[in-house]
């Protein structure tokens, strides 16, 4: 690999800076998560004080600040404890991935209060652009959604809620429906009644309610009772 195309990972120890060269931003982040080996990542085993100037770290400096002269061990510490200088291309990829996650969460959890149905993802994305929403790829999508929905509500009729729903299913459909409910909702309680029917209380994002009801109606041929207990 051309060194000019390599990615820098670095760490600061006291007043000293140490850098290494790795071959890929995504691989470096995967190494931090323990998913890949170091050998598949390093462009060179050299430890630098300054990559651009070609200044190498001495064994004395490594021993003093890392407790070892083993370059592999030093490289591991730089990757795990330090930072990876992400390329603009990779930052853009992280941004787009995070935006898609946020749009999906809003689509699944929020609804148009006029229709009680979710907004299409394309409409959410357009509203985010109109509202000039800032997305931070360093923070989780879940952490950012509530604040983004508040800003979107200024230009888009939208409400973000979790619904608590009672579901009563006849005995002959209970098995299939219960499997669906376990897969797609949070089950708060379940009770088998004397007639063999199943009474379940669930929580589900508002945007997913309509699709769930459609599926349950297909499974039961419409023979099902539901009641919204409340929202939060």
Cβ-based neighbour number of residue 151 at 10 Å: 15
**What average pLDDT does the segment 103-116 reach?**
89
Domain count, the chain: 3
Tell me, yes or no, whether 7 and 32 share the same domain: yes
Tell me, yes or no, whether 117 and 177 share the same domain: no
- The residue among 143, 160, 177 that closes a domain is 160
Check which CATH number belongs to the domain holding 136 and give it.
1.10.10.900
Classify residue 222 as left (phi > 0), alpha (psi -120 to 50) or beta: left
Tell me, yes or no, whether 70 and 11 share the same domain: yes
- The residue among 160, 181, 206 that closes a domain is 160
**What average pLDDT does the segment 20-36 reach?**
91
Tell me, yes or no, whether 23 and 58 share the same domain: yes
Instruction: Note the pTM of the prediction, 2 decimals.
Output: 0.64
Going from the C-alpha of 174 to that of each of 69, 92, 96, the distances in angstroms are 65, 47, 41
H or E element at residue 222: none
Tell me, yes or no, whether 8 and 78 share the same domain: yes
Q: Distance between CA atoms of 116 and 16, rounded to whole angstroms?
A: 58
| Domain span holding position 120 | 88-160
- pLDDT-based confidence at residue 3 (cuts at 50, 70, 90): low
4 vs 165, higher pLDDT? 165
| pLDDT over 80 (residue 1) | no
Tell me, yes or no, whether 72 and 129 share the same domain: no
Average model confidence (pLDDT) across the chain: 92
- The residue among 64, 84, 104 that closes a domain is 84
Question: Cα-atom radius of gyration of the chain, to the nearest Å?
Answer: 26
Lookup: tokens for 56 = 């190498």
């Amino acid at each position: 690999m051309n060194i000019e195309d390599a990615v820098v990972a670095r760490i600061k120890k006291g007043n000293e800076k140490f850098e290494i060269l790795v071959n890929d931003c995504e691989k470096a982040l995967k190494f931090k998560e323990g998913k890949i080996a170091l050998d598949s990542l390093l462009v060179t085993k050299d430890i630098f004080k300054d990559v651009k100037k070609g200044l190498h770290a001495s064994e004395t400096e490594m021993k003093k600040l890392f407790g070892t002269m083993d370059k592999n061990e030093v490289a591991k510490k730089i990757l795990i404890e330090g930072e990876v200088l992400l390329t603009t291309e990779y930052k853009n990829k992280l941004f787009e991935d995070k935006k898609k996650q946020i749009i999906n969460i809003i689509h699944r959890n929020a609804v148009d209060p006029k229709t009680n149905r979710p907004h299409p993802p394309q409409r959410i994305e357009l509203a985010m652009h109109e509202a000039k929403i800032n997305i931070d790829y360093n923070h989780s999508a879940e952490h950012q959604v509530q604040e983004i929905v508040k800003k979107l509500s200024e230009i888009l009729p939208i409400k973000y809620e979790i619904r608590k729903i009672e579901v009563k299913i006849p005995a002959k459909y209970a098995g299939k429906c219960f499997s669906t409910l376990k897969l797609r909702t949070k089950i708060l309680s379940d009770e088998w009644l004397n007639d063999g029917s199943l009474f379940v209380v669930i929580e589900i994002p508002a945007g997913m309610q309509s699709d769930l009801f459609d599926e349950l109606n297909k499974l039961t041929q419409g023979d099902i009772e539901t009641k919204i207990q409340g929202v939060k």
